[in-house]
Amino acid sequence: MKYIFLVIIVIAGYVLCMATIYDDIDPEHFSRSIYESVEYDFGNISVDNGVVTHTFECVNSGNSPLIILDVTSSCECTTAQFTTSPIAPGEKGLVSVTYDPAGHSGNFNKMVVVKSNGIERFVRLVVKGYVVP
């Protein structure tokens, strides 16, 4: 009986959280970021060649301007630059992710999180590869 009560509480909490997340979205005026790809594989890279960068493109498929508010990375070896001006409906925005292989070797799998005013508030982008020693 305790487990059933716990499950009901968890489900109710989830529904309440989802309602809170989406309650400020006007269904007639929203922005939405659609990324062509959310993962990029650099393949084999060398420390001697320095940093590598990949630019992810997103399209605002909504009908209101999309604003990228912030981009955070999973470690100091990964940084990002992004479009700071509002992205009009149908237009493209950019998130450039740079990985610095200095001091690393072997496989890497790094994530950046893009925070925006879009329906999908947070989008995870991943860069990965292998640093040849």
Task: Give the domain ranges of the chain.
Answer: 30-132
Find, among 116, 129, 122, 101, the residue nearest to 39 by Cα: 129
> How would you write the pLDDT of the chain (133 residues) with one tens digit per residue?
666 655 566 666 665 555 444 445 555 678 999 999 999 999 999 999 999 999 999 999 999 999 999 999 988 999 999 999 999 999 999 999 999 999 899 999 999 999 999 998 999 999 999 999 8
Domain 30-132 has CATH 3.40.50.2300: no
Instruction: State the Cα–Cα distance between residues 129 and 132, nearest whole angstrom.
Output: 10
Find, among 117, 121, 102, the residue nearest to 17 by Cα: 121
